């Protein structure tokens, strides 16, 4: 494809500048040029024009932690503490889910995500079928994804078989849109020896398949106040200095680890996360809804920890709205610390774009708008009362914009959303099918 994207405002996230009346030139799947629109109009006169003159054009958003298939459980169980929510409600219903359910839940999540400007999903769920799974669903919508099979101590043989099939079939698939991660669920559900095994497996897979992109590790960490006590009680280990310290002591914590939540971090945890260059996926909406707490994000950023943003699942959020996530991530740190300068708008966008790309080891290709990088970008219309007038486009993206303001989405050089319309799948059919699957799932639960 040869495409000229006319930008009202352009924020590349390469630095803190923005550009007015510029153009981004796309050739194939890459960004070929960035220049003033008037120059582009004559230099690239024969290129197809995607009009975003009423938009702020920016890199696509990266959802660093979610469980895509759980969109099917949106609103099923609310207003409960995490342990009760999981053990009494979510896990029993998930036990009734089939491969087709997982597929349509992930398809629904991908549709919601791309219409809201998210171009990458880092998702942890169950891989049970080579054809009906999160990778096949999300890639059908046309966005990038990092897919993991969640691992538990009680099903090691099953996990290892699923991981091997997942990596061999899907890592680097669909023109590089799909990558794979190794996903121990959490320190309280995965014993230390199994954590070490999964660490070793990650390294082995990277040595074999790393030329198709880095395989990362994705784990829940320090989500609730009692998590450390549960780990000590369950596995008879000492985690007095913190859970990240514990992962480091057993050789698991490296720069390819994406740790979701990190709400209850000790100072030693933060220090070791920075030293090992591991990344945090901050999920402010889900953490508030489940009353898990507020992560010390400003402290982590000041110590040099790479922090990205996630929504968690639509079952605990209850949307996959990264604009809401950016705004809340900024406001929470200001209010909690009584300091309005913390997590300014540029930093919040950075967390949702290039920081997420760094966490996934994808920053050489995505996360900023630069010549030579993959053409993943979104156009957010400012022709709305709540987006008028504009003094600073960074401020508007974080504090004023909404996910429904996303007008165009380009992924890997392909127009996936044009004028708010998804071009890759039938949205109404996805909604209809997801509702039908919900009814069937509840029926199976009642029969049990």
- Give residue 157's pLDDT: 97
Residues 434/105, Cβ–Cβ less than 8 Å? yes
Assess whether 252 and 396 both reside in one domain: no
- C-alpha torsion angle, residues 127, 280, 66, 157 (rounded to 10): 20
Closest by CA to 356, choosing from 341, 368, 373, is 368
Dist. CA 389–CA 8, nearest whole Å: 13
Is 279 domain-assigned? yes
Which residues make Cβ contacts (< 8 Å) with residue 27, sequence separation at least 6?
A: 1, 2, 3, 413
Q: What's the CA angle centered on 58, arms 54 and 61, to 5 degrees?
A: 125
We report the CATH number of the domain holding residue 387 as 2.30.40.10
Assess whether 270 and 345 both reside in one domain: yes
Assess whether 147 and 236 both reside in one domain: yes
Residues 333/342, Cβ–Cβ less than 8 Å? yes
Q: In Å, what is the CA distance from 355 to each residue of 3, 36, 68, 380, 384? A: 27, 27, 20, 20, 29
Assess whether 127 and 181 both reside in one domain: yes
Q: What is the DSSP letter of 264?
A: S
Q: What's the CA angle centered on 100, arms 96 and 105, to 5 degrees?
A: 85
- Give residue 448's pLDDT: 65
- Give residue 313's pLDDT: 97
Assess whether 339 and 197 both reside in one domain: yes
Question: Which tokens hold the place of 95?
Answer: 């036990």
Residues 390/423, Cβ–Cβ less than 8 Å? no
Assess whether 33 and 181 both reside in one domain: no
Q: What DSSP string runs through 370-407?
A: -TTSB--EEEEE--SGGG-S-S-HHHHHHHT--GGGEE
For the entire predicted model, the pTM comes to 0.98
Q: What's the CA angle centered on 64, arms 198 and 224, to 5 degrees?
A: 75
- Give residue 30's pLDDT: 98
Residues 305/277, Cβ–Cβ less than 8 Å? no
Assess whether 130 and 260 both reside in one domain: yes
CA dihedral (361, 365, 366, 367) positive or negative: positive
Question: Which tokens hold the place of 327?
Answer: 């705004």
- Give residue 18's pLDDT: 98
Which of 315, 330, 359 finishes a domain? 359
Which residues make Cβ contacts (< 8 Å) with residue 6, sequence separation at least 6?
A: 23, 37, 40, 49, 50, 51, 52, 53
Which of 324, 359, 394 finishes a domain? 359
Q: What is the DSSP letter of 185?
A: -
Is 432 domain-assigned? no
Q: What is the DSSP letter of 60?
A: P
Dist. CA 34–CA 113, nearest whole Å: 27
Expressed as residue numbers, the domain containing 224 is: 61-359
| Block mean pLDDT (10 aa), the chain, length 448 | 96 97 98 98 97 98 98 92 87 91 97 98 97 97 98 97 98 98 98 98 98 98 97 96 98 98 98 98 97 97 98 96 98 98 98 98 98 98 98 98 98 98 98 95 83
Dist. CA 287–CA 290, nearest whole Å: 5
We report the CATH number of the domain holding residue 112 as 3.20.20.140
Assess whether 353 and 373 both reside in one domain: no
Provide the β-strand partners of residue 125. Answer: 149
User: How many CA atoms, within 13 angstroms, populate the side-chain half-sphere of residue 327?
Assistant: 13
Indicate the helix (H) or strand (E) that contains 140.
helix 134-141
- Helices 99-115 and 427-447, packing angle to 10 deg: 140
Assess whether 67 and 54 both reside in one domain: no
Q: What is the DSSP letter of 90?
A: I
Assess whether 198 and 225 both reside in one domain: yes
Dist. CA 374–CA 372, nearest whole Å: 7
Is 435 domain-assigned? no
Which of 359, 378, 396 finishes a domain? 359
Dist. CA 256–CA 14, nearest whole Å: 22
Residues 77/395, Cβ–Cβ less than 8 Å? no
Assess whether 22 and 126 both reside in one domain: no
Is 157 domain-assigned? yes
Is 422 domain-assigned? no
Assess whether 154 and 19 both reside in one domain: no
Q: What is the DSSP letter of 366?
A: S
Domain count for the chain: 2
Sheet of strand 306-309: strand arrangement: 61-66, 118-125, 144-151, 178-184, 216-221, 257-261, 279-282, 306-309
Question: Phi/psi of residue 377, each to 5°?
Answer: -155, 160
């Amino acid at each position: 494809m040869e495409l000229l994207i006319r930008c009202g405002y352009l924020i590349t996230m390469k630095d803190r500048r923005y550009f007015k009346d510029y153009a981004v030139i796309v050739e194939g799947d890459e960004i070929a040029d960035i220049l003033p629109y008037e120059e582009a109009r004559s230099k690239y006169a024969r290129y197809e024009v995607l009009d975003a003159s009423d938009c702020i054009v920016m890199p696509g958003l990266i959802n660093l932690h979610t469980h895509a298939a759980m969109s099917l459980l949106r609103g099923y169980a609310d207003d409960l503490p995490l342990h009760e929510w999981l053990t009494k409600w979510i896990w029993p219903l998930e036990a009734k889910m089939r491969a087709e359910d997982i597929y349509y839940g992930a398809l629904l999540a991908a549709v919601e995500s791309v219409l809201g400007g998210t171009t990458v999903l880092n998702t942890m769920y169950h891989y049970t079928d080579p054809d009906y799974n999160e990778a096949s669903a999300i890639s059908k919508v046309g966005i990038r994804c990092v897919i993991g099979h969640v691992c538990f101590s009680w099903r090691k043989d099953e996990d290892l078989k699923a991981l091997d099939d997942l990596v061999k079939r899907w890592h680097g698939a669909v023109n590089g849109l799909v990558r794979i991660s190794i996903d121990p669920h959490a320190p309280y559900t995965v014993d230390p020896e199994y954590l070490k095994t999964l660490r070793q497996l990650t390294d082995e897979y990277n040595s074999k398949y790393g030329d198709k992109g880095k395989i990362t590790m994705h784990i829940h960490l320090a989500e609730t106040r009692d998590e450390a006590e549960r780990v000590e009680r369950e596995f008879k280990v000492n985690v007095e200095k913190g859970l990240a310290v514990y992962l480091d002591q057993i050789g698991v914590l490296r720069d390819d680890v994406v740790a979701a939540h990190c709400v209850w971090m000790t100072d030693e945890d933060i220090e070791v996360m920075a030293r090992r260059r591991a990344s945090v996926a901050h999920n402010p909406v889900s953490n508030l809804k489940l009353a898990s707490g507020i992560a010390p994000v400003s402290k982590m950023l000041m110590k040099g920890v790479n922090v990205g943003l996630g929504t968690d699942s639509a079952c605990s959020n209850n949307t996959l709205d990264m604009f809401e996530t950016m705004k809340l991530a900024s406001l929470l740190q200001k209010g909690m610390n009584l300091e309005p300068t913390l997590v300014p708008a540029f930093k919040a966008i950075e967390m949702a774009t290039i920081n997420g790309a760094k966490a996934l080891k994808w920053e050489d290709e995505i996360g900023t708008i630069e010549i030579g990088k993959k053409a993943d970008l979104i156009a957010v219309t400012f022709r709305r009362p709540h987006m008028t007038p504009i003094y600073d486009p960074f401020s508007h993206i974080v504090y004023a914009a909404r996910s429904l303001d996303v007008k165009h989405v380009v992924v890997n050089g392909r127009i996936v959303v044009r004028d708010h319309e998804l071009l890759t799948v039938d949205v109404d059919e996805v909604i209809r099918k997801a509702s039908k699957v919900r009814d069937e799932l509840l029926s199976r639960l009642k029969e049990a």
